[in-house]
Structure 1
Amino acid sequence: MINIIKPLRKTLHCLLVGLSVLWATISTAGTPVIEIRIKDHLFFPDTVPVPVDTKVKLLVINEDSTPEEFESYELNREKVIPGHHKAIIFIGPLPAGEYPFFGEFYPKTAQGKVVVTP
């Protein structure tokens, strides 16, 4: 009896992992992707339009050789992106308004905002 429980537990674990990956894929399949680049310690674009009440995937590409941290108190997000790397940050759904973000390591130059409009 004990010999059969271990394989069943392993199979159940694999099944649960597979289902969670499938659910993550399905739930983000229709999510719009918005690309933001970091270059010379600046965000491009620095103003990111987002539709109201829509979940969005931000693809942040750091073209600099140094790391930068995408940070926003209003969006409740922070993510370090090493030099020459990419990161995905999900935001929303959000009500209409402006949500500033900045680069924690270069806050004087790396500034931007998400503008949510109907």
Structure 2
Amino acid sequence: MLARITFTSVLFLLSSPIALAAETIDDAPITLVLENHHFTPSTFTVPADKRFRIQLTSHDNSVDEFESYDMKFEKIIVPGGTITVFAGPMHPGTYSFFDDYHPDDAKGTVTVTATGGQDDAR
């Protein structure tokens, strides 16, 4: 009996963080396109209290590296490829992202608002 209660308790504890994490990620990804070494859209807004997902599709003819020091992600994307990164929850403010291989051309910002974001990219 004790083994059954312990097993059930462990199973519950292990599954709870996964369920909570799934609830905090906004279901609709922020959709970005990288073309001619420019992000479209180059800016978007998210709420401070949520994790969010960015889906990036490359229409460039070269390999790019989607990166953000502020949001702590770095991912290679091949021509014609699509990648997904996760970020947040974050404090209100403005955070940058860029293509590490073309940092002067491909750059953008995320504005994190305390009252919730209006996102044109979705």
Cα contact 1:64–1:84 (8 A) shared by 2: yes
CA RMSD of aligned residues (A): 2.1
Largest Rg, 1 or 2: 1
- 1:31 Cα offset (Å): 3.0
2:36 matches 1:43: no
Cα contact 1:36–1:58 (8 A) shared by 2: yes
Structure 2: segments with no counterpart, 5+ residues: 1-14, 115-122
Where do 1:4-15 residues align within 5 Å?
Answer: none
Match of 1:27 among 13, 22, 27: 22
Cα contact 2:26–2:50 (8 A) shared by 1: no
Structure 2 equivalent of residue 3 of structure 1:
none
- CA deviation vs aligned residue, 1:67-118 (integer Å, no higher than 9, x gap): 1111111111100111100000001111111111110111110010111012
Greater helix share, 1 or 2? 1
Match of 1:79 among 59, 75, 98: 75
Percent identical: 33
The alignment's TM-score, normalised by the length of structure 2, stands at 0.72
**How far apart in 1 are the matches of 2:26 and 2:93?**
23
Structure 1: segments with no counterpart, 5+ residues: 1-19
Cα contact 2:52–2:87 (8 A) shared by 1: yes
Between Structure 1 and Structure 2, how many residues are aligned?
97
- CA deviation vs aligned residue, 1:16-63 (integer Å, no higher than 9, x gap): xxxx9xx58x82675331001101000111112111111101001111
Q: Structure 2: which amino acid aligns with 1:27?
A: A
The alignment's TM-score, normalised by the length of structure 1, stands at 0.74
Tell me: CA distance 1:30–1:56, structure 2 relative to 1, closer, same or farther (3 Å).
Answer: closer
